[in-house]
Structure 1
């Protein structure tokens, strides 16, 4: 990682992220970095004495917990579906008797250290603080969100007076007086999403808070159990407190100089979204009643993480690289874990860590599933089942548009209908811009791509026969329906590509673009794979599926014809045109922006100047090059040859060099997509982009939006590129292909993988890539190296020379 990536961090352990000083201006970013979750819910790493303000944003989010509320946006009624900020379970505040409650921002901080222990899935905050009266107190806070029992989370606070003795009070509460206010550009949307159903004391040291989303689709209950020990043990007193929106307990402690008192706060969070919780309040009370003490809970939690890390098995000889890769894997597994399989939730673009994009699900699973497919196939399957459950909604959307098949929405939430807001706000001039990004129809191909590669990697025939094939065939049917004949070719009109800065032609009133290269070629890929799939399924299942979908030979012939005659536009020098007419746009000069707009979002800056980004050759993120990230050089050039276009390696490089200076990389996915696309074509440039991607969210200089949630797609991509491009490990219909192309500087790395139920270890060492079949495998591991087929018996290893 570059030297500036962790300039505000202390320590060099590849298992920890550390901060050695308190920075209130950086707290909302650190809250996301230090967030803890278990695949069911995630809690941001806010201090326990904070509320929602300009320095702190305590937030807890449950996977798939959305609320649909009407809003007035730009003078129009808009039904917006938003991820809900749930009751804050963190409040745990302290004060000397009869004094003011201590707030970190109001104290003198003499020592400060905060760290994320990724191996054990916990955070620790250590503070030496002094109040205005000169009283000094050492405070240690430990926190976890249980990966063992997904209902539970816990805090332990240790208090040690340094220079005083006396009575003190500690207040622990559950607080439903929260709103959605994490994203500044959403300030015009409804912020309140919860109705309090009850706040009560449910027994000695136990409090219960229950809420419901405003659309009454979800009920959430939090139960708290408080216990004190250590100095003063036996003389502690506890009193309950409850009022509208909050409840809890006040604990009176006798503290003595130099001695340590501890307080444990155990909380259960249960939701009606989880089928295991028919009565969330009863489930939450049962969970806290049966929960062990903090040490036991932490031990079980650490063992659960240990089991998952055993499956991740990432190693590298560079501690900075290893730490970043583990950080990315850690946050992926906090968003989607083995516990997620019981829920109906997708993979959100920014994790369950904040309110960016209202918590919606885009195509980011495309970048995360390669990591999961090779390690946690059950989690990957659950994500694809989220899509399959929404197949009916996608079919209905296609029918409503006068099309066939399944038209999946660009942004999805609880029901699978399109939830892209109608407008987005330009924070530079305060104006609302019409949002046309719902026209990103390539989402369908992304789902087909994920389905196909899950199957190839896992060999899950039951899923493909029961669910996956139906999705892929209906998506292919959609592409055949939207493609229009134009002469001897087919065209796709009125879409938007991954770029997003271009929504329409400057010379045309209606929104949408024609023949976006990424869209058209991924449509061809989908049509080809759908036909191939029918030939790979057992004949009886394929025939049954065709009967059920009324898929006849004539329609399959149309798919084949379109897949051979789809239009792809080129510039005169052979560069693939991002969309038809891109070269007609005005060249963009970044110097045209005045100094006060330099560094701002380019589309907002241009509109603030009265210009339209649709007029210029400037792209938000990689668009054409996404094809080469996903499919690789050979597959893209093979498809172009199938379409009758001559296109080779020099043309790919020319295309990349054309778009690189026209791309402003305003998406965390942009550089990482270029990285994967250029892995073989320009290893040095690819390596530079990969190092940049490793810093995503960790580098404060690059993390201007991290406070709204992690960048989950970029996190998945760093690991995907390492295994699929640099180590060259990919699942194909013929078997597991090995074709490494490590960049200079990668050094020694090792990955543990699972392929069709068999385990293997891939490691670069001494100029070779070593593939070792696990000794516990049930049978041989079959590999492909060029035209050679290799069978590795359990425990055997093969070494392949790395290219120079």
Structure 2
């Protein structure tokens, strides 16, 4: 059972949530949502003791490997460091036996620490346990663990086996060769793994300290080295009321780490790991945790969002979202992207989708632009794979992969998915072949970043090339329709993935048109204003020839227009498909319940959408559509949208708020916030929903606060929910930080800028220098 109104201790009110009852059939919920990480690595929060059905995951960002030629690359599950085999008087400790009292597992978001405590009663013995754990934000290679054990009513014999276990896998796929294992000075444990295909070396270390009654105990352990594992066992006798403190320091390095990018030597990695491990081990849990806690203080100052709401859950929800966005983002290395499940589970194999550019990047654009730039440079490094994909499919330019891993890997989308309930066969996954809007999504993200930051150096070095080359792809992708005398984009999947092999998906067509138009504008600007850069890009990409093709085609791209009822067809056939009663599925307790009754082909013939499609178009290109058209389409498509994708609710929330339905907008916001954090115990089994977490921030800042970038200007048009009295947050614009505070009637702004900034508030230009307060 989850508890979200934790008030003990009081200082963690709205900063933590807890599991108050152990359920061995719902392990994955807390393993995912209570995961720890720092962007370099992510550690799923499985319990220290082992249970059937658990997922013990440790992922190191960017270390992709292919199990064999028949599978796609994925983040390999590194050796497990967290498992402890605990025995009391010779009996293996497990919460599935005996009585468990005072149970609570809590994630402290403020300090990024996992805490679990309870009293275990078995065979007449009562023992108090507490476990603490962190993945350091101050020292990116470091994991810290601490266990305390206190017998409450008699003497016990306690043994603890701890080490590094390489017998784990990715749901059966073993990504590592058997590696070398060593124990130095009976203290420092080392295990080396090497991935089977990408040949990345993992060097993991662990060491332990034991204190009895507050005094360090220099016990000699029993050592054990077995196939793919190395461990030590400590045995102690504890009297009633006597406490054992058991600390474990762990360090993780790989040959893919940025410091080894010039050519790693295994011996160098081992030396670095051992040095880091010894330093951590000598300092102890509390001192190193303090370093970590101070690093998180800076995080919360950087990203602080404060909400005064009648519903305290709202404040917790945005802190939860920001916490996970931070721990999933590889801000340390531009060669790496963000997985659709972050680093919290095996779902989607660690691959990056359009989730990053459309749902997560805005958070960083407006709160930490250097991180946003790093994520876009990851896509620049992926141009090699994008060009290869375009060439393989018979197109020009850069065709970005639907799923991306290591930048040069190109397309890594699996070919086959879940079972078809009608045929019993595996379902073919078409998104890697025909879900192509990702290419214009990335171009849009480059433009969005540039408009908000004014980062000209980024554009000169990376951005222009990305926009021009993606436009070349779209120009080659267009198909001439002789009958209509227009260019079409046929056989695609749009954002609504319940409609495959459609022609002229409105989102895809409009975004392709935007991409080409943007390239035309920038190419002409470069030719006039930056001739040397234009010549360089022209030599590399053939820009002059492309400009002729763009000019010839841009005015004849088919852009679906509203029909007599004001409805823009989502694709050529959507409005002709049959209407069905979606009531049972709109009120579903789990996503995808429509597939209990129909297969994907059958759903493809209904007017039902998985997620926002036309609505996403209205959000990204909002100034291209009048309000009455948005309203008509929202009313039409919202009732047909099941929100079976976690990406969907935040977009519908923002549009509902724009259209004046604050009650619905707030309801959709709460549903988005509850995808991971809510009461459903199996919604996050495969990992958290990265895009939805970015969407929570977007609902607050871009939705309720009305922050938008339109035409290169920063707009604010607040419409707070009835439940909220105040909201405040930081905002970066053109290199300057603006502190924003809103209540129901007033807006207060403070900036560090010595220059005069122009904002559009409620449709009116406002000059900002220093501080400003006005009514809206």
TM over 0.5: yes
CA distance in 2, matches of 1:370, 1:592: 34
CA distance in 2, matches of 1:598, 1:150: 38
Task: Map 1:246-645 to 2 at 5 A.
Answer: 246-277=229-260, 278=264, 279=266, 280-291=269-280, 292-318=283-309, 319-337=312-330, 340-342=331-333, 344-365=335-356, 366-414=358-406, 415-426=408-419, 428=421, 430-438=424-432, 439-486=434-481, 487-503=484-500, 512-534=501-523, 538-540=529-531, 542-552=533-543, 555-560=546-551, 562-569=553-560, 570-590=562-582, 601=592, 604-607=595-598, 612-632=602-622, 635-637=623-625
Give the conservation status (yes or no) of the 8 Å contact 2:451–2:712. Answer: no
CA distance in 2, matches of 1:721, 1:129: 43
Q: Residue 113 and residue 270 in structure 1: after superposition, are their counterparts in 2 closer, same or farther (change >3 A)?
A: same
User: Which residue pairs with 2:718 in the alignment?
Assistant: 740
| 1:765-804 CA distance string (max 9 Å, x none) | 2511211113xx45443423477544433xx2222433xx
CA distance in 1, matches of 2:583, 2:691: 31
1:685 and 2:683 matched:
no
Give the conservation status (yes or no) of the 8 Å contact 1:771–1:798. Answer: yes
CA distance in 1, matches of 2:671, 2:590: 18
Question: Runs of 5+ in structure 1 lacking a partner?
Answer: 72-77, 182-189, 504-511, 638-647
CA distance in 2, matches of 1:363, 1:93: 41
Q: Displacement, 1:650?
A: 2.2
CA distance in 2, matches of 1:455, 1:611: 41
User: Which residue pairs with 1:645 in the alignment?
Assistant: none
CA distance in 2, matches of 1:534, 1:669: 33
User: Which residue pairs with 2:631 in the alignment?
Assistant: 653
1:237 and 2:220 matched:
yes
Q: Displacement, 1:578?
A: 0.9
1:34 and 2:21 matched:
no
Secondary structure at 2:695 match in 1: helix
Supply the RMSD in Å over aligned alpha carbons.
2.5
Give the conservation status (yes or no) of the 8 Å contact 2:179–2:194. Answer: yes
Task: Answer with 169-178 or 228-237: which moved more.
Answer: 228-237
Give the conservation status (yes or no) of the 8 Å contact 1:311–1:753. Answer: no
Out of 771, 777, 784, which is 2:760 matched to? 784
Q: Residue 652 and residue 469 in structure 1: after superposition, are their counterparts in 2 closer, same or farther (change >3 A)?
A: same
User: Which residue pairs with 1:169 in the alignment?
Assistant: 159
CA distance in 2, matches of 1:135, 1:529: 72
CA distance in 1, matches of 2:128, 2:137: 29
CA distance in 1, matches of 2:304, 2:7: 25
Task: Answer with 161-170 or 708-717: which moved more.
Answer: 161-170
Give the conservation status (yes or no) of the 8 Å contact 1:8–1:20. Answer: no
Secondary structure at 2:27 match in 1: helix
User: Which residue pairs with 1:207 in the alignment?
Assistant: 189
CA distance in 2, matches of 1:263, 1:536: 64
Secondary structure at 1:177 match in 2: coil
Q: Residue 26 and residue 251 in structure 1: after superposition, are their counterparts in 2 closer, same or farther (change >3 A)?
A: same
Q: Residue 604 and residue 58 in structure 1: after superposition, are their counterparts in 2 closer, same or farther (change >3 A)?
A: same
Q: Residue 733 and residue 283 in structure 1: after superposition, are their counterparts in 2 closer, same or farther (change >3 A)?
A: farther
Q: Displacement, 1:598?
A: 9.8
Out of 165, 168, 192, which is 1:178 matched to? 168
User: Which residue pairs with 1:223 in the alignment?
Assistant: 205
Task: Tell me how many residue pairs correspond in the alignment.
Answer: 751
Out of 652, 657, 675, which is 1:674 matched to? 652
Q: Residue 257 and residue 536 in structure 1: after superposition, are their counterparts in 2 closer, same or farther (change >3 A)?
A: farther
CA distance in 2, matches of 1:236, 1:397: 58
Out of 682, 690, 697, which is 1:712 matched to? 690
CA distance in 2, matches of 1:35, 1:117: 11
| 1:743-786 CA distance string (max 9 Å, x none) | 43333000012223211111112511211113xx4544342347
Secondary structure at 2:572 match in 1: coil
CA distance in 2, matches of 1:165, 1:761: 58
Give the conservation status (yes or no) of the 8 Å contact 1:213–1:219. Answer: yes
Give the conservation status (yes or no) of the 8 Å contact 1:627–1:636. Answer: no
Secondary structure at 1:678 match in 2: helix
Q: Residue 342 and residue 540 in structure 1: after superposition, are their counterparts in 2 closer, same or farther (change >3 A)?
A: same
| 1:101-135 CA distance string (max 9 Å, x none) | 2122234212211111111111111111112x211
Give the conservation status (yes or no) of the 8 Å contact 1:568–1:576. Answer: no
Q: Residue 676 and residue 230 in structure 1: after superposition, are their counterparts in 2 closer, same or farther (change >3 A)?
A: same
User: Which residue pairs with 1:508 in the alignment?
Assistant: none
Task: Answer with 200-209 or 121-130: which moved more.
Answer: 200-209
CA distance in 1, matches of 2:454, 2:673: 31
| 1:450-500 CA distance string (max 9 Å, x none) | 111122222221111101110111111111111123344221111110111
Secondary structure at 2:621 match in 1: helix
Give the conservation status (yes or no) of the 8 Å contact 1:361–1:413. Answer: yes
Give the conservation status (yes or no) of the 8 Å contact 2:385–2:411. Answer: no
Give the conservation status (yes or no) of the 8 Å contact 1:448–1:472. Answer: yes
Normalization by structure 1: what TM-score? 0.88
CA distance in 2, matches of 1:607, 1:792: 56
Q: Residue 108 and residue 556 in structure 1: after superposition, are their counterparts in 2 closer, same or farther (change >3 A)?
A: same
CA distance in 2, matches of 1:156, 1:5: 24
Task: Answer with 739-748 or 761-770: which moved more.
Answer: 739-748
Give the conservation status (yes or no) of the 8 Å contact 2:582–2:640. Answer: no
Task: Answer with 121-130 or 234-243: which moved more.
Answer: 234-243
User: Which residue pairs with 2:117 in the alignment?
Assistant: 126
Q: Displacement, 1:198?
A: 1.5
